[in-house]
Structure 1
Amino acid sequence: MAPLTPRLVVPIDVKKKPWEQKVRLHNRWHPDIPPVADVTEGELFRVEMVDWTGGRVRDDDSADDIKFLDLTITHYLSGPLRIVDAEGVPASPGDLLAVEICNLGPLPGDEWGYTGIFERENGGGFLTDHFPSARKAIWYFEGIYAYSPQIPGVRFPGLTHPGIVGTAPSVELLNIWNERERKLIETGHESLKLCEVLHQRPLANLPTSDNCLLGKIQEGTAEWQKIANEAARTIPGRENGGNCDIKNLSRGSKVYLPVFVEGANLSTGDMHFSQGDGEVSFCGAIEMSGFLELKCEIIRGGMKEYLTPVGPTALHVNPIFEIGPVEPRFSEWLVFEGISVDESGKQHFLDASVAYKRAVLNAIEYLSRFGYSKEQVYLLLSCCPCEGRISGIVDAPNAVATLAIPTAIFDQVSCNSPTNCFLDILKDVHFIYCCAFFHVLNKNRRTRL
């Protein structure tokens, strides 16, 4: 008998707001957010989701929606889902939940996405000190490919993935999160900086009831108020998985998530059509609405057997990710290096963040020679399938990071004459020797943000 069509457990209507959906969404982590459905181990099921902003970013040329976006909404998630075995026994704390991604993609009729640079005063990004103003690129999908009117001459296959897959924390783990992040905020401003710009961004985002959505729990009730003041924000990845933004978690991938509460309470969201390693502009993937088709397996006692705590309690573990067999194939790459020396010439000690920042800046400077604005390149490196690496972390004082860009993403369109081509072959002998596959953008058809 042919397998059944995946059961739809969380439907989405993109014309409705997140709080108007038939199955209520949530945008916080808390053990008391009730599950919206039960899913049986081994069952193939489908989860649909809004984009992470719940439709607040529009398909137009203005970046005002990015500039003024209220980040207290982050992120709208579908779930939680209670996972049970064939006998109806739920997953238990200490188990491991294996979540297999069988299929995924954009929602039919909503095949577009966006990449943004946040305003410095509203979250900023990895290169806030260089790009303080909001920008936006819209991407349209043609099957597996994406192209953008705001960044012409580029077309690439997307490695589509969910930015967030996670289980609910226990009360104890939630308290650990809130305590350590609150302590960071209270003590870190005097001593901590990341690439010399951390003072422009919050060190962490503590619980707030502003724009809090808690699924089935009715806003304004005493229960809602208590949970809203305790629930963790979804912005960072943590022990439960969450917002890890691992671009290779696509078709055929498996995620092994620790279980902290009865039923696991699995949630997912923040779908990306494509993303570069690091998602450097913060709103850096191609954000979209989408769907996942999943299967789950409960590994009884799996946390103790397969995960080794690194921290003061048995809860200080992290998921394991198994990359699937389906991804775009690229044979030619241009690789940019960065070291732990910042733009002022200051030496840092084995700072991989500074090194990666320099690699990204080097790539931006180079590609901007070919007719793109630096803002266009910054957006592109956030969402195209580029590969980031920590190449060296032991040779004091310089960590070495690299950023590899697949050259095939630059669309080599055909043309009748060199003067009408959007991409013209680069004539400079030195650059031909270094990278013969790059092309100069025709100045008459240059598009800037």
Structure 2
Amino acid sequence: MPELIFPLDSTKKFTDQAKIGHNRWHPAIPPVARVKPGDSFRVHCREWFDGAIHNDDSAEDVRDAPLMKVHALSGPFAVEGAEPGDLLVVDILDLGPIPQEDSGPLAGQGWGYTGIFPTKNGGGFLTEQFPDAYKAIWDFSGQVATSRHIPAVSFTGIAHPGLMGTAPSAALLSKWNARESALIATDPQRVPPLALSPEPREAILGGVSPSEFDRIAAEAARTAPPRENGGNQDIKNLTRGSRIFYPVYVSGANLSVGDLHFSQGDGEITFCGAIEMGGFIDLRVDVIKDGMQTYRVGENAIFMPGRTDPQYSEWLAFSGVSVTLDGEQRYLDSQLAYQRACLHAIDYLTAFGYSPEQAYLLLGAAPIEGRLSGVVDIPNSCATVYLPTAIFDFDVRPGSSGPFRVPQGTSAPHAGFD
């Protein structure tokens, strides 16, 4: 087993550990450990809410989820010799739920969860159609997930880190804050907000000194969106065997990782759409000197997908075009087209007895594939959702005998605002 350089004790909160991670991006957050090019190492990761979501039949915890606390990131880890302008090479060797802990109160101890976030607390891809909070608990058996809240479904997860990236430079951080503040200013009262500005409350900044804490907390960027440094990309195929090339903006690169997922569909459409868990990840790092200029990788991470995905061979695909539910024509709006494809898949699954919320949760958690299928034929962009048929315990395809009816009486926990 690779050397464990960031341990977590499941009996303690994230902020009470021997080594403390962070939940904001800032170049002044000091590294908690140092590694050399070629090193392999293990990192423990806490589920992104640090235990705020519970294995029960209530969705009140999802409704009231403390978004200012996320994400609970492990790191930063400095890589010897890495300097601005280099590319950091990261190989994902292995990852999974919390080792040797198959039961307990933390996600990753034999179970995980998917949540539909309410509009008033983050929302999701289809928040206009699903404004309330819902939750599904998933039980793990090896690589297979099943849920008491979504019957007649089981599938092999593609485990991956939802979030991994390098620290920004001071200049890059300033750029993020300026452009996101400008976006917020276009509609400052929007619910959910257009972006998340720096928020000192609930900031976790690792080893930052008390004298500098307030200043850094006021500048540090939230970890919710993906950015030039990688970050919260939520790419389901970033799994075992993947190799990622991250731009380096500060000395040491200062790599951080977290937000592990047991499984996820393309887009993580419910916002908390993956099967969230804590666990471990084994990494190996290397450095390509001056790689950002050499390979023209200056504003993005690139990666080679792993080869251990479940091999689904049959799919049921749903298409959508860039026309709103009210019939308004939009010009080549691929995001709208993907929303419509997802809604078509949800409508279809209700014919088998699933509630719309169960279907929505399923599309967020199962390894569906989302594709931009047409982006040139004006005015309609076409997007598609591929649903693997093998995840169902019944034949989900259309047929002359009519749709199978899933067992009734099971529902996804729901919590609305008073």
Offset, 1:442? 4.4
User: What's the % identity of the aligned pairs?
Assistant: 52
Cα distance in 2 for residues equivalent to 1:58 and 1:233: 24
- Once the two structures are superposed, the pairs formed by residues 107-186 of structure 1 within 5 Å of their partners are 107-108=98-99, 109=101, 110-186=109-185
> Which residue identity lines up with residue 199 of structure 2 in the other structure?
T
Please tell me whether residue 326 in structure 1 is matched to residue 308 in structure 2. yes
Of 23, 36, 47, which residue of structure 2 is paired with 1:51?
47
Of 288, 302, 306, which residue of structure 2 is paired with 1:299?
288
Deviation sequence 1:300-350 (CA, Å, 0-9, x none): 0101011254xxxxxxx1011110111100111000000000111111111
Please tell me whether residue 200 in structure 1 is matched to residue 191 in structure 2. yes
Contact 2:203–2:217 (CA under 8 A) maintained in structure 1: yes
Greater shift, 263-272 or 38-47, is seen at: 38-47
Of 185, 190, 202, which residue of structure 2 is paired with 1:211?
202
Please tell me whether residue 18 in structure 1 is matched to residue 9 in structure 2. no
Q: Which residue of 2 aligns with 1:431?
A: 398
Change over 3 Å in CA distance of 1:36–1:358 after alignment to 2: same
Cα distance in 2 for residues equivalent to 1:290 and 1:399: 39
Contact 1:337–1:402 (CA under 8 A) maintained in structure 2: yes
Of 381, 388, 396, which residue of structure 2 is paired with 1:399?
381
Offset, 1:363? 0.3
Contact 2:151–2:406 (CA under 8 A) maintained in structure 1: no
TM-score, normalised with respect to structure 2: 0.94
Offset, 1:411? 2.2
Q: Which residue of 1 aligns with 2:404?
A: 440
Which runs of 5 or more residues in structure 2 are unaligned?
Answer: 102-108, 413-418
Q: Which residue of 2 aligns with 1:359?
A: 341
Cα distance in 2 for residues equivalent to 1:93 and 1:103: 28
Deviation sequence 1:122-156 (CA, Å, 0-9, x none): 11111111111100000110001000000011100
Cα distance in 2 for residues equivalent to 1:394 and 1:51: 40
Contact 1:307–1:318 (CA under 8 A) maintained in structure 2: no
Offset, 1:222? 2.9
Cα distance in 2 for residues equivalent to 1:410 and 1:329: 15
Cα distance in 1 for residues equivalent to 2:403 and 2:29: 53
Larger radius of gyration: 1
Q: Which residue of 1 aligns with 2:104?
A: none
Cα distance in 2 for residues equivalent to 1:345 and 1:151: 32
Contact 1:113–1:287 (CA under 8 A) maintained in structure 2: yes
Of 271, 287, 310, which residue of structure 2 is paired with 1:282?
271
Alignment partner of 2:221: what SS?
coil
Change over 3 Å in CA distance of 1:329–1:446 after alignment to 2: farther
Cα distance in 2 for residues equivalent to 1:173 and 1:94: 13
Please tell me whether residue 8 in structure 1 is matched to residue 4 in structure 2. yes
> Which residue identity lines up with residue 92 of structure 1 in the other structure?
E
Identify the structure with bigger relative contact order (alpha carbons < 8 Å, sequence gap 6+).
Answer: 2
Cα distance in 1 for residues equivalent to 2:110 and 2:78: 30
TM-score, normalised with respect to structure 1: 0.88
Alignment partner of 1:152: what SS?
strand
Please tell me whether residue 92 in structure 1 is matched to residue 83 in structure 2. yes
Offset, 1:181? 0.6
Offset, 1:70? 1.7
Alignment partner of 1:103: what SS?
strand
Cα distance in 2 for residues equivalent to 1:299 and 1:14: 36
Of 347, 359, 370, which residue of structure 2 is paired with 1:377?
359
Offset, 1:289? 0.1
Contact 1:28–1:231 (CA under 8 A) maintained in structure 2: yes
Which consecutive aligned stretches of 4+ in structure 1 deviate over 2 angstroms post-superposition?
none
Deviation sequence 1:286-311 (CA, Å, 0-9, x none): 000011101001100101011254xx
Q: Which residue of 1 aligns with 2:106?
A: none
Contact 2:25–2:168 (CA under 8 A) maintained in structure 1: yes
> Which residue identity lines up with residue 432 of structure 1 in the other structure?
G
What is the RMSD computed on CA atoms of the aligned residues? 1.6
